Amino acid sequence: MASAAFFSTCLLANKNYLFLAPTNASAKGYISNLRVPNLASIVLRNERFVRLRGLVAMVDEGASKVSDDDSRMKIPHVLTVAGSDSGAGAGIQADLKACAARRVYCSTVITAVTAQNTVGVQGVSNVPEDFVAEQLKSVLSDMEVDVVKTGMLPSIGIVKILCNTLKEFPVQALVVDPVMVSTSGDVLAGPSILSTFREVLLPMADIITPNLKEASALLNGMQLETVDDMRSAARLLHNMGPKNVLVKGGDLPDSSDAVDILYDGLNFYELRSPRIRTRNTHGTGCSLASCIAAELAKGYPVVSAVKVAKRYVETALGYSKEIGIGNGPQGPFDHLLRLKSHSQDCHRQRPFSPSDLFLYAVTDSRMNKRWGRSIADAVKAAIDGGATIVQLREKDAETKDFLESAKACLRICRSHGVPLLINDRVDVAIACDADGVHVGQSDMPAHVARTLLGPEKIIGVSCKTPEQAQQAWVDGADYIGCGGVYPTNTKENNTTVGLDGLKTVCTASKLPVVAIGGIGVSNAGAVMEIGVPNLKGVAVVSALFDRESILTETKKLHSVLLGSNVGGT
Ligand SMILES: Cc1ncc(COP(=O)(O)OP(=O)(O)O)c(N)n1
Ligand SMILES: Cc1nc(C(=O)O)sc1CCOP(=O)(O)O
Ligand SMILES: [Mg+2]
C-alpha cells in the first residue's frame, strides 16, 4: 500500500505518480476534479476512500506544504446532521456531548435552529438548503468522517442534499434517527417528508432508530402497543432498505422495563433494561443514536454499538435523576456525569494555595486502629488543632470502607475549608470527589492522574531528587513532598535524604515543597530553618496520629511552625 511519505516524495521530485484503479465511482469523480499538475492518474488499492481523501487533500495543498500523514493519529469521527436545541438537551448539542462522553470527535452540520426549553419548542428556523449543502461539503471533503448521524431533517430538499452529498463523499456508516416529533410533542419534520425518508434516506442507512411514534408514522399509522408489534414494525421498516432497524419501546404502555427491538434482517435482538423513572429524558433519542454512531466509528459491530449506547443512556439517566434544570415537564440529562458534584453542597473546593502545605496531616489506618479511633474522628481532631491540609493514607483499608471514610472526612474538611487529598488511590479520589491525590514514584504517574482528575484537582508527588522534582512540574503537579528528611518507622525501607537532600530538591523545584519523614514538634523548626522560600510546611503522620491526643499534638506543632519562618509566610 502506498504511504503518505511516497506521495510526498513524488511531489517533491515533481514526478507524475499513479494510484491504481478506484472501483468506487464517487472516488473517481472526486479525483478527476483535482487540480494537481503532476497527477497522472489515480489508483486505489484496498485503500479506504476516506484515507484516500486525506492523501489527496495533502497533495491538493501543493508541494509547499507536504506533511507525513502516517504520523497523524486517526481519531474516530462522527458528523451529526441535525437541528440546534437552544436548551441544549437534544439535537446538535446532545450529539456533541454524547460523542464527547464516548470519546469520539464530533463535527456538526446544522439543519435548523430551534428556540427550545424544557417546556417545549417555541420556534424553528430552517437553515437555507444551499447553506446546509455548503456545511456538508466543508466537513466531508476535508475531515475524514467515519460515520454520519442524522437528526432533525426539516425539509425534503435537505434530505435530498444530504443523500446526494453522501454519494459524493461516502462514509463507513449512516445512522438515521428519523426525528419527527420532539419529546414535548412539537412537530420537527412534517408528514410530507415521510415519503422522502422512505424512498431516499432509509435505503442508504446502516441503522435507523425510530421510537414508537416515528415507526408508526413511517408505517402509515400502524398501531404499536406490544413487543410483538415492535418486531413486526422492525421487519416492515427493514423492507424499506436500512441494514438494521432499532425500534425503541420507551413509550410502550404497561412495561416496567425499557424494551428495544433490534432487527438486522436475520435476527431479532430484544434489549431490555430497567426503566428509569425521571423527568430528565429530553434528548435521549439523539444521544442514543449519537452513541451508536460513535461506537460504529470506533469500528464496533452494530449489535455491540447498540448495546453500549443503551447502557450509556441508562447510566446517564440514572445519574441525572434528580437534576433540576428548567421548569418544564422534560429536563435535560447530564451526558458527562459531572454536573452533580458542583451542586450537592454549598462547601465547594477552593483553589489550591501553597500555604495549604503549612501543617499537612497524613492519616494512618494502623495508628487509628491502635488508638481505637475512626478516621473521621482523627481528621476532625487534626483540623481542630490547626492542620491546613489532610491526606488519607489508608494502606490497609478495604476499598468500600475507604470510600465511606473518605466521604465522611470530605464533609468535615469542606466545612472547615481544608483540602482533602487521597494517597495513591486516584479511583477513590474520583469516586468521592476529593480535592486531589498524593502519588509517589511507583504510583500512577502524575500526568495520568491529571488527565483523570481534571485541571482543578490538587496533585502532589513524592520526590527525592531534583530530576523527580522537574518531572513532577512537567507532569502538571501542584506541589511535591520531599523526604524522608529523618528516619521514620511509618514507611518501610524509606531512604532518608536529610536536610541537605531536602535543600537540594527545594532549590531545584519549581513547585512548592512540603517536607516529610520523621518530623514532629521537636525538629519541625530545624526543618523550616533551612530557609528555602518554596519550602512551605511539614507533613506529619506519627507525631500527630500515633499520640494519645491528636488535638494537643497538632496544636503544639502548629505553634512551632508559626514560630518558624515558613516559606517566607
Ligand atoms: C506529602 C507526602 N509526601 C510523600 C508521601 C509519600 O508518598 P509515596 O512515596 O507514594 O509513599 P506512600 O505514602 O504511598 O507510602 C506522602 N504520602 N505524602
Ligand atoms: C508517607 C511517608 N513518605 C515519606 C517519604 O519520604 O516520601 S516518609 C513517610 C512517612 C512519614 O511518617 P512520619 O511522619 O510518621 O515519619
Ligand atoms: Mg504512594
pLDDT at 48 over 50: no
Q: Identify the pLDDT of residue 522.
A: 97
Q: Identify the pLDDT of residue 13.
A: 34
Spatial distance between the Cα atoms of 415 and 5, rounded to a whole number of angstroms: 60
Distance of CA 119 from the midpoint of ligand 1 (Å): 52
CA 342 to chain centre: 17
> What domains can be seen in the chain, in order of their start residue?
4-60 (no CATH), 77-340 (3.40.1190.20), 354-563 (3.20.20.70)
- Mention every residue, 6+ apart, whose C-beta is less than 8 A from residue 475: 445, 446, 447, 450, 459, 461
ipTM at complex level: 0.98
Name the residue with higher pLDDT: 454 or 64. Answer: 454
Grid coordinates of 556: 503544639
Give the tens place of pLDDT for each residue, 210-256: 999 999 999 999 999 999 999 999 999 999 999 999 999 988 877 77
Distance of CA 349 from the midpoint of ligand 1 (Å): 22
Using a 6 Å cutoff on CB, does residue 249 contact ligand 2?
no
Distance of CA 556 from the midpoint of ligand 2 (Å): 19
Mutate to test the pocket of ligand 2, among 482, 491, 542 (most ligand atoms within 8 A of CB): 491
Using a 6 Å cutoff on CB, does residue 520 contact ligand 2?
no
Residue type, 37: P
Q: Identify the pLDDT of residue 70.
A: 64
The confidence band for 301, taking pLDDT boundaries of 50, 70 and 90, is: very high
The confidence band for 59, taking pLDDT boundaries of 50, 70 and 90, is: very low
Q: What is the mean pLDDT of residues 8-36?
A: 37
- Residue 516 and residue 335 in contact, taking contact as beta carbons nearer than 8 Å: no
Query: Would you put residue 201 in left (φ > 0), alpha (ψ -120 to 50) or beta?
Result: alpha
Q: Which atom in ligand 1 lies closest to the alpha carbon of residue 439?
A: 10
Grid coordinates of 513: 515543597
Q: Identify the pLDDT of residue 72.
A: 87
Q: Identify the pLDDT of residue 53.
A: 39
Q: Identify the pLDDT of residue 183.
A: 65
pLDDT at 23 over 60: no
Spatial distance between the Cα atoms of 413 and 204, rounded to a whole number of angstroms: 57
Using a 6 Å cutoff on CB, does residue 391 contact ligand 1?
yes
Q: Identify the pLDDT of residue 567.
A: 53
Grid coordinates of 70: 502516517
Q: Identify the pLDDT of residue 180.
A: 86
- Residue 310 and residue 90 in contact, taking contact as beta carbons nearer than 8 Å: no
Name the residue with higher pLDDT: 34 or 423. Answer: 423
Give the tens place of pLDDT for each residue, 378-404: 999 999 999 999 999 999 899 999 999
Q: What is the mean pLDDT of the chain?
A: 87
pLDDT at 474 over 60: yes
- Catalytic residue set: 248, 281, 283-286
Q: Identify the pLDDT of residue 348.
A: 66
pLDDT at 33 over 70: no
Spatial distance between the Cα atoms of 257 and 317, rounded to a whole number of angstroms: 14
How would DSSP label each residue in 494-563? PPP-HHHHHHHHHHH-SS-EEEESS--TTTHHHHHTT--TTEEEEEESHHHHTSS-HHHHHHHHHHHHHH
User: With pLDDT > 70 as the criterion, what percentage of the chain qualifies?
Assistant: 85
Name the residue with higher pLDDT: 200 or 338. Answer: 200
Residues with Cβ–ion distance below 5 A, ligand 3: 424, 440, 443
The confidence band for 118, taking pLDDT boundaries of 50, 70 and 90, is: very high
The confidence band for 274, taking pLDDT boundaries of 50, 70 and 90, is: confident
pLDDT at 55 over 60: no
> Among 28-32, 482-486, 494-498, 542-546, whose mean pLDDT is lowest?
28-32
Using a 6 Å cutoff on CB, does residue 519 contact ligand 2?
yes
pLDDT at 428 over 50: yes
* Cα distances (angstroms) measured from residue 299 to each of 31, 147, 266, 288, 290: 26, 10, 21, 17, 14
Grid coordinates of 515: 517536607
Q: Identify the pLDDT of residue 373.
A: 95
pTM given for the model: 0.79
Q: Identify the pLDDT of residue 370.
A: 94
Q: Identify the pLDDT of residue 252.
A: 85
pLDDT at 87 over 60: yes
Q: What is the mean pLDDT of residues 452-459?
A: 95
Q: Identify the pLDDT of residue 189.
A: 72
Using a 6 Å cutoff on CB, does residue 362 contact ligand 1?
yes
Q: Identify the pLDDT of residue 36.
A: 39
Using a 6 Å cutoff on CB, does residue 443 contact ligand 1?
yes
Give the tens place of pLDDT for each residue, 128-178: 999 999 999 999 999 999 999 999 999 999 999 999 999 999 999 999 999
- Residue 151 and residue 286 in contact, taking contact as beta carbons nearer than 8 Å: yes
Closest CA to 330 of 250, 252, 271: 250
Grid coordinates of 158: 435537505
Residue written as cell 453500549?
308
Distance of CA 391 from the midpoint of ligand 1 (Å): 9
pLDDT at 51 over 70: no
Grid coordinates of 554: 497538632
Give the tens place of pLDDT for each residue, 305-357: 999 999 999 999 999 999 999 999 999 999 999 888 754 454 667 899 999 99
